[in-house]
A and B are shown apart, each in its own frame.
Chain A
């Protein structure tokens, strides 16, 4: 079930009042919310509901065993076993194809002929996200940061439909306590929820879909057939598309959770205003950055060792973060580029030591540089293969005289709007929300309805899947 569809609107129009009505009966609420979340997930492929349920039971058992184990060795063994099982499931669904083809090609090179495999594995929607949630639960239990909760509460935590398929990645310490206490039905931040939902829908349906359909997809599908200007605009276009698509989804998710009385962590904070790659990763997919930091970078040693080991840890974390997005060399290069960039920035900072704040011109220069390094990474992230990415990069310098029919005023406007909106001061949107929150209820409803109708009319026919669903 996709958020921007009439089916979801009907689903949510039923879930919202029932959720509040059942709030006083905690057990009934959990059963209801678990059922609603499984219906939401089962709409893609009901077979995978069993995978989700199985993962829930197995991880709850592992977490309880970790909490009960007395010796540190046993606790560690149980944690390793639990995390390995989660990664094995993820690896099977996500990387089986990569391993099968790689093994086949390796054997072929060694002169061992084996028949080609017949069928591949279908990827369950959101498997990466619920696996990450489950790993968080096990590791936080092992570290003693949380106590295992009950199975029904953990089941709701893992499958809660607003975050289930594409995040944000909510730590158990953030969501499980909210399941324990009764939410206050008198204080719902409806205005912020509506702004997030309406803004998210507009970003996805209008900006991301238009850029994908009319510029990015045709150019990246056949880079050799396009001019340098089209390649450059498609690269900027993809930077805006992936931001609008993914931040749009998580904005809607956070808004829906807010209406149900839950607070999710922020996932994006104007990432293209970043003045360095480190700053970028504090603003882009913030919950994944945090997850990688806490469950990968720090366990690898973080910045506790020598300089070289810190750089190695940065590089490893980013390459593994790249591979999380998909099994392919393009993702390795994307992660590697960010890893090298972060290590380089760190080395530069250590060499220069503490300096005074950069000037306004210096900040503009840093923003431009960071944005273009990020865009270079996006070329590899978007391209189907390394050779295709190399074709895009080479084409950026070699075909400036060719015509550029795909670079239209509409596409330029979408790119400028997608980047420009990140420079709007937060105080302005806060002011807008404050004013909106004081309007009478029917006026609020009518304004929200008009925005939804406008977005639906401006969006293309049908809804393209969200980019992050395949991760």
Chain B
């Protein structure tokens, strides 16, 4: 046995005591077996999840793609504004710009949704399959807190992404034309909720299925909601109750598209509303109750993920 090994185990050696009194106090209490506590576990896992995205360059690649997206929008918007004849009435000018901003916001919400599903589909299933979770789950932590921590880390990442891409879109629109869509903050919140919803579903799936299966399941549900939203809008336009009902059922199964349509309703220029059905706008406006349902759905998906992870063998 060498000296360093002996030192390593001493409950509180002289160096540590001299270095800081708080260290020795903490050392004394460390002999009492205890875990890190629920809040600290969540913070630890959130930090490690966020840092993972940064260190694995997911965050930076996403930021780069987002910057390219914004750059393209900026260049396009700038060119469009410059090409407008001076005699265009200001109302029409604002509507044109508003429509373009809305289309870009829609594309941004799709990118955010994809990011929510693709970045999180591997987080639990991958760690279970690789055995990474074994050394973590045997620590004195609640499994539910591990899931919650990862969720918080992803939500933080998605919030930054929404702020960057969607907030950037709104900011560029304002900078170029002084056009500020109404209810911008609420719209950003709805788009973030859409991403959080998909995040919860992906994480719940990844407690049971492989990363690919989890991602495919979430994107499948996202597609279902998208098609359901169209059917509902067509139904509303043509007064076909069955189509409307089918759309509502699809929204209940996965309310992601309903959230976008609510956001679109908040910001859409009248010209888009008059244009009828399009993926960027909303003729059949989801209610506040549907938004509440989506929020509860997102929370339930998180709790479901925690329960599934708690119960499964690792």
> Do A and B truly interact?
no
Q: Which B residues have a C-beta under 8 Å from some C-beta of A? A: none
Q: Which A residues have a C-beta under 8 Å from some C-beta of B? A: none
